[in-house]
Amino acid sequence: MELSSWHGGHEGFRICENMQDTIERYRRNTRSAQPLQRSDEQNMQNLKQETTSLMKKIELLEASKRKLMGEGLGSCSLEELQQIEQQLEKSVSTVRARKNQVYKNQIEQLKEKEKALLAENTRLSKQPPPQPLPLSPPPPNDHQRENQNQAYAESSSPSSDVVTELFIGLHRSS
């Protein structure tokens, strides 16, 4: 097919040129995309291998944990059992050392608290004792009592006297 005969004259030639440019760009882009596809495939393979490797490590760690917990020891050889025992003894030693350190820290804190409380106790013992708060007014002395009686006597009048009767037992009506 001739380029000039395709779609008539010079106009067709431009269209054909544009199509060829488009095809060429497509080919270039697909060629440059192929290495990306290959690197993506390689990355995917690497990730799969890494995942498999990590899964195996997890299985080994879980099996080791079970053995340290005392589970599934039936299949262990004497050498494996001795290694587990040594590892456990080392772990217990580490735990005890940490526990002792925590105890020492707590003892130091308690000693500091004791010093502070002793100092506070010494300070408080040097202060005069606090005065008790009166719950009710103090009882009146003889002079105050006389004044109160006199004021009462002056305020009461004969017409304000009240007569009361005290009945003990059943009340009988007459």
Predicted local confidence at residue 18, as pLDDT: 75
Residue type, 125: S
User: In this model, does residue 170 exceed pLDDT 80?
Assistant: no
CA pair distance 54, 47, nearest whole angstrom: 10
Contacts of 72 (CB under 8 A, 6+ apart): 63, 66
pLDDT value of position 21:
81
**Most confidently predicted of 11-20, 60-69, 147-156:** 60-69
pLDDT band at residue 20, thresholds of 50, 70 and 90? confident
pLDDT at position 27: 79
The residue whose two tokens read 């005065």 is 131
Instruction: Please write the tens of the pLDDT for every residue from 120-152.
Output: 999 999 998 877 776 776 666 777 777 776 766
pLDDT band at 41; cut points 50, 70, 90: confident
What residue spans of the chain are helical by DSSP H?
9-68, 78-126, 142-155
Structure tokens at 113: 């608290």
In the prediction, which pLDDT does 25 show? 81
**Which range, 10-24, 74-88, 139-153, 156-170, has the best average confidence (pLDDT)?**
74-88
In the structure encoding, which two tokens stand for residue 14, read together?
């431009």
Look up residue 171 and give its DSSP letter.
-
